[in-house]
A and B are shown apart, each in its own frame.
Chain A
Amino acid sequence: MTTRPHDHPGEAMPATRFVLNGTDRAVTHEARVTLLDLLRERLGATGTKKGCAEGACGACTVLLDGERVNACMVLAAAVHGREVTTVEGLAAADGTLHAVQRAFVEQDALQCGYCTPGQVVSAVACIREGHAGSEVEIAEWMSGNLCRCAAYPQIVAAVQQAAAELGTPQGGASGAVQSTAPAARA
């Protein structure tokens, strides 16, 4: 069967336009490039870390239209027209840290730090989703972020601290996971 004229031809080098941390970006790239590699290799946004590159560790967690995703599993072409928030987009313009970032510092929720950008971005979403109601709930809903230094108790404490400061959204743990605007700023 031949492709009919009205079907869109595929692009080996798609041109992707999206909003990264509030700024419009346009990049032409190979179709096989993931969002993670585009951020790190083409856009200099190296805060997002590459751990396993197979969706297992969560070091590459970013917000896509407000929802946390593994950037290593998202094709860059698939974010065309959408909004991406990375760890670089959390702090205020004047450098004031996001409440989650501050909580990670104050609770000493890291050792080597490699997983921390992903933990922080994931925690922002976890709190916004209403999944930070207890230590057990936080452990469950942060389980997609591995920490090989095993700073888990401090990470849970940091999420609790930030959740207390930011407040729990209406709906609670049983509510729908909402797609929301890009990360709220502290």
Chain B
Amino acid sequence: MENFTYARADSPEAAIRAAADGAVFAAGTTELVNWMRLGIVAPPALTDISGLDLAAIALADDGATLTVGALATLNAVGTAPPVRTHAPALAEAALKAASPQLRNRATLGGNVLQRTRCPYFRAEAAGEGRMPWPCNKRVAGSGCVAREAPFDRAALFGWTDDCVATQPSDPVVALAALDAVARVQGPDGIREVAMRDFHLDQQEGGAATETRLAPGEMILGYRIPVDAAARGSAYLKVRERESYEYAMVSAAVCLDHADGTIRALRIALGSVAQKPWRLPQTEAALAGAALDEETVQAAMDAALRDARPLPGQGWKPRLAANAATRAVMMAGGIVR
């Protein structure tokens, strides 16, 4: 790891000014330190934003909006009563991420900016000439070895021949299903970005550009609209071991239902694309439908027919459809 200069920012504006001079924002550093070790980034300077007043979690007085600061840790998000009550999918996603120790450091602002767990991308190699294999994210134009390799964590949607990586965050799946909005601040002021549009798949951004965050912009926090579907939300993570592992697929569901009928439904799939993958047509098709497994499963099977699994990963669309179905049944209180 190259050395860098370290400074503590005492305001978002100071941090953003430092970023304009080349500094990288540092908070929990559970991703950044690994990036620097692997040679993914080699910033000349860090601006430590962890002391800023951006960790609050609160329900607005009218009960209609939940706000979560970017510096709230994943353990804080996962255990905060307002989150558990009004956006349980986010609480579950936060607590199913990483390990207890990492969740004490990792922030909800940094979590959505984590990068793919593709092992080819995460090669330890300082400097372009030292990459042991092609990766268009690491060295533009070098190629994508994961596309050809026996690698079973590739995207189902939105990928191109240049890159098949997925976004591995759990919370981002919940935030997308919850219709959360990120508040971001940059040199030109504060703006809002819907979390369902925050990330870019490869068809939208190529191999290199993964979010709509502009250079020098930092996430201040999130605004989550609280409705019956948000309060009735659930998150299901499917992985190869019960704990402390990335998802093979995941699903976040916000469900409003009554008398066995779906009134409103929002679904996001995780780890199947470089962004949380909302299913808008399925959401519309199931509004007003019966809340039973057969109906929901048929809709999810149809939704996954658009998937483009790489060779050897034909199991993944079925796993995603089953996970989405089960997440709806969990949100509906029909299964645990």
Query: Which residues does A use to contact B, with CB under 8 Å?
Result: 1-4, 7-12, 14, 30-32, 34, 53-55, 58, 61, 64, 67-70, 72-75, 77-78, 122, 125-126, 129, 131, 139-145, 174-177
Contacts and interface: CB of A to CB of B under 8 A. Distances in A.
A8 B7 contact: yes
B29 A69 contact: no
Interface string B1-23: 11111111110001001101101
A143 B243 contact: yes
Nearest to A141: B100
Interface stretch (B73-81, B218-226, B230-238, B278-286): B73-81
Nearest to B243: A143
B203 interface: no
Given A73-B33, A74-B105, A176-B79, A68 B100 contact: yes
B79 A70 contact: no
A10 B9 CA distance: 10
Given A10-B45, A68-B104, A176 B7 contact: no
Interface footprint category on B: 35 or more
24 contacts: A1-B17, A3-B18, A10-B5, A10-B46, A10-B47, A11-B6, A31-B3, A31-B4, A31-B5, A31-B6, A53-B37, A55-B34, A55-B101, A58-B101, A69-B104, A73-B33, A77-B6, A78-B48, A126-B100, A143-B100, A143-B243, A144-B101, A176-B79, A177-B104
B7 A11 contact: yes
B26 interface: yes
A30 B79 contact: no
A47 to B, nearest CB: 16
B36 interface: yes
Given A55-B102, A122-B100, A177-B76, A73 B30 contact: yes
Contacts of A1: 17, 20-21, 187
A74 B47 CA distance: 14
Contacts of B99: 58, 70, 143-145
Given A70-B30, A144-B100, A32 B21 contact: no
B36 to A, nearest CB: 7
B102 A144 contact: yes
Contacts of B84: 174
A3 B17 contact: yes
Given A31-B46, A69-B101, A177-B104, A75 B29 contact: yes
Nearest to A129: B100
